[in-house]
Structure 1
Amino acid sequence: MLVDHHLLEKYWAGLCTPEEREAVERWMLDGIPEESYELRPPDVEPVIKNQLWERITEASREEINPDKTIRMSMWFKMTAIAAILFLLIGVGIYISPDSILDKSRPSALGAYQEVSLPYGKKASVTLPDGTKVFLNAGSKLKYPPKFSKTERRVLLDGEAFFEVTKDPKKPFFIQTRQTTTRVLGTRFNLQSWEGCSDILNVEEGRVQFSAAGSIDTLILHANTQGVFDGHSLTKTIVNSRNRIAWTKGQMIFNDVKLGEVIIELERWYGVEIHLSNPQLANNRVKVQFDNASLAEVLRDISFALNIKYKIKDKEVMLSR
């Protein structure tokens, strides 16, 4: 697995999978790499970066016995990398996302704020720069009370529609477990559910979409979709209206498997849906709802698929 600046950022943000965390820690044990990885942003002054890496290299040499080569300890390497991030913060060119993960931990600009929604609830948030974020049910957003002078960065777990305030001098970043989205000011929808592909749909403007471990970077425009499946990035032409319909209280399922529809309904209404027969999940649904109740949705789906439904408290059973 390639250890690059995207993966290092995820590691310090606590967003790595077990496999990614193992790869980073194995890289740490191997000592200072021959290549100096950029720790973001790419336009950091080369002199500053070179000085930081030289300090680590010099410090590592002091740990090595001239008569016998030894491996740098995990603690020393981690401390060295942490020192880089700390120094970059000190010169105002890096805001580490790991502080966003802990509300009680102060950042360079103060404690970070978090909005976490349960299933069945949606919300809108206005960020310090005026950017509007519409959070879908079951989603989590973390952001600073004040952005830095060089960038705007938030963390997303779940799904959100962004209306980013334009600022050509201060790019806006959305970090997920797998991907990084970069914009200057535009409208788009981003999905990043655990265990699923990251999906980015652009309604307006231009968006840059990249992923840890992928050599590709997508530039997406209106009505284009970028998908990262954990291995590679792909780009397709879509109707973005379907992807942002949820912000208007609409659900649009266009030839979608019932199993996928169920996941969406559980988030939307805060219920648990069970199938009497797992094979029912393969049935496909083509239907649209507009601010419909759970009973209305289940009635129409059941009629279309010739199945039955039963609601009891917060649980639903679908059967033949």
Structure 2
Amino acid sequence: MKINKEIIQRYHLGLCSPNEIAAVEDWLNSDQADMTFLQEPELKQLEKTGWEELSSRFNLQSSPQIQEPLIHTKKRLFPFNWQIAASIIVLLTTGVYFLFHFKAENDSTKGSPLLAYKEISTKKGEKLQVILEDGTQVWMNSESTLRFPKQFTLNQRMVSFSGEAYFKVAKNPEKPFIINSKRTKVQVLGTRFNLRDYASETSSAVVVEEGKVRFSGLKGPEHLILTANQKGTYAESVKPRLSIQSVYSTTKYINWKDNKLVLDNLLLKEIVPVLERWYGIELKVASPGLTNKRYTGSFENPTVHQVIQSITFALKSRYQQQGNTWIIRN
């Protein structure tokens, strides 16, 4: 019986027939089994380096590389013995398991139980920085949720998101980074941008600081290609609409991640949800005539008292605090 890689794989998985087992063991005892066996410290290192080294040594099919620091060790030849063979069999069995495990994971879809996902959320008044396994950095604003696989597949890096976040995507031309939200889809290779897509708001926006972004709404085939200092907006209405504009500076759109609050010519009714998210408070406008008045101001690491005091001074109004509730009135 001719010994080939398929029979060796079945042997280490315990799937061979009695005749095949006898043939493989005869082959292992023969001079045809040209193997290099390792000492115990080297076996541990071989286990760390994973399947790729095993597959190249025994001419088995390859699997995705497991990125671990490699330590080059000197290999020596020793006479064959079954203790060493047992160690090799354990390593091979482990390698075959990971081969099929990773293959199943890479072929799986979002809902597959083999692809482990993690979900991170921020509450009102919270901000958080997350670093994904590919090196991509995500700064999450308040009331945001990021869902991502613990390990990306071979051909793409796909995450789900709602809220607001600043993304610094690690460059990888072979694996596009894709963000799916309730309304939009963002696709990049490596860039820096801010995405704002709150379900409670009627539009979504992307502001690009560096690189190139493909931005589209989930309703309709249209898409935008955005570059540095450009803002794309998707308005979801009876007729969804994409629009693009140039921005003089991206600073006011991304300052929030450095705890700098920028309110640029906003109506008071637009400011209310911003401050509620930022501070985790409840803000009420008791005088309807104030809701459509505009305010501009910028603050660095401000307290809620400083911001509301500035707003009421500019709008010639007053405020009061009742626990975690703040009330603005004429």
Q: Secondary structure at the match of 1:154?
A: strand
Corresponding letter in the other structure for 1:259: K
Indicate whether 1:206 and 2:212 are aligned.
yes
Q: Helix, strand or coil for the counterpart of 2:124?
A: coil
The residue that corresponds to 2:79 in the other structure is: none
- Equivalent residues in 2 for 1:234-253 (5 A)? 234-238=243-247, 239-253=249-263
Q: Does 1:137 align with 2:161?
A: no
Query: Following the alignment from structure 1 to structure 2, what is the Cα–Cα distance between the partners of residues 107 and 218?
Result: 34
Q: Is the 8 A contact 1:93 1:150 kept in 2?
A: no
Shift of residue 240, structure 1, vs aligned partner? 1.3
**Structure whose alpha-carbon radius of gyration is higher:** 2
Q: What is the CA RMSD across the aligned residues, in angstroms?
A: 1.5
Whole-Å separation in 2 of the counterparts to 1:174 and 1:258: 31
Q: Does structure 2 retain, via aligned residues, the 8 Å contact 1:164–1:186?
A: yes
Task: Identify if the C-alpha distance between structure 1 residues 93 and 221 changes in structure 2 by more than 3 Å, giving closer, same or farther.
Answer: farther
Query: What secondary structure sits across from 1:263 in the alignment?
Result: helix
Other structure's SS at 2:133 match: coil
Is 1:299 aligned to residue 309 of structure 2? yes
Q: Which residue of 2 aligns with 1:146?
A: 151
Q: CA deviation at 1:277?
A: 1.7
| Deviation digits for residues 70-125 of structure 1 (CA, Å, limit 9, x no counterpart) | xxxxxxxxxxxxxxxxxxx96946633xx4xxxxxx54322x11111110111000
| Structure-2-length-normalised TM-score | 0.65
Alpha-carbon displacement from aligned partner over 1:132-160 (angstroms, at most 9, x marks no partner): 00000111111111000010011111000
- Asked if 1:108 corresponds to 2:117, the answer is no
1:224 aligned onto 2:230: yes
Q: Select which of 168, 177, 181 maps to 2:173.
A: 168
The one-letter amino acid paired with 2:185 is: T
Deviations 1:26-76 (A, max 9, x none): xxxxxxxxxxxxxxxxxxxxxxxxxxxxxxxxxxxxxxxxxxxxxxxxxxx
How many angstroms apart in 1 are the aligned matches of 2:151 and 2:205? Answer: 27
Residue by residue, what CA displacement relative to the aligned partner does 1:173-202 show, whole Å, maximum 9, x if unpaired? Answer: 010001110000110000111132111110
The within-5 A match list for 1:1-320 is: 92=106, 95-96=109-110, 99=111, 107-110=113-116, 112-196=117-201, 197-230=203-236, 231-238=240-247, 239-320=249-330
Q: CA deviation at 1:251?
A: 1.2
Please name the residue that 2:98 is paired with.
none
Q: Is the 8 A contact 1:154 1:175 kept in 2?
A: yes
CA contact (8 A) 1:273 1:316 kept: yes
Structure 1 residues 145 and 92, CA gap change in structure 2 (3 angstroms): closer
- In 2 relative to 1, CA 305–151 (structure 1 residues): closer, same or farther, beyond 3 Å? same
Q: Report the Cα distance in structure 1 between the residues aligned to 2:320 and 2:180, rounded to whole angstroms.
A: 40
Percent of pairs with identical residues: 35
Distance verdict in 2 for CA 1:300–1:164, change over 3 Å: same
Contact 2:212 / 2:225 at 8 angstroms: preserved in 1?
Answer: yes
Instruction: Name stretches of at least 5 consecutive residues in structure 1 with no aligned partner.
Output: 1-88, 100-105
Residues 255-300 of structure 1 deviation map (CA, whole Å, 9 limit, x = unaligned): 1111111110000000010111223110001111110000000111
Is the CA contact (8 Å cut-off) linking 2:108 and 2:115 kept in structure 1? no
Show the counterpart of 1:22: none
CA distance in 1, matches of 2:232, 2:113: 32
Q: Using CA pairs under 8 Å that are at least 6 residues apart, name the structure with larger relative contact order, 1 or 2.
A: 1
For the 8 Å contact 1:214–1:233, the answer to whether it is kept is no
Structure 1 distance, partners of 2:301, 2:210, is: 25
Q: What is the count of residue pairs matched by the alignment? A: 223
Deviations, residues 200-246 of structure 1 (Å, cap 9, x unaligned): 11011100001112231100011100111010110011121110010
- Check conservation: 2:172, 2:189, Cα contact below 8 A: yes
CA contact (8 A) 1:95 1:148 kept: no
> What is the TM-score with the length of structure 1 in the denominator?
0.67
1:93 to 1:206, Cα distance in 2 relative to 1, 3 A: farther
Counterpart-to-counterpart distance in 2, 1:286 and 1:272: 21
Code of the residue aligned with 2:284 in structure 1: it is: H
- Unpaired runs of 5+ residues, structure 2, are 1-102
For 2:281 and 2:196, the matched residues in 1 are separated by 20
Name the CA shift for 1:94/1:181 in 2 (closer, same or farther; >3 Å). farther
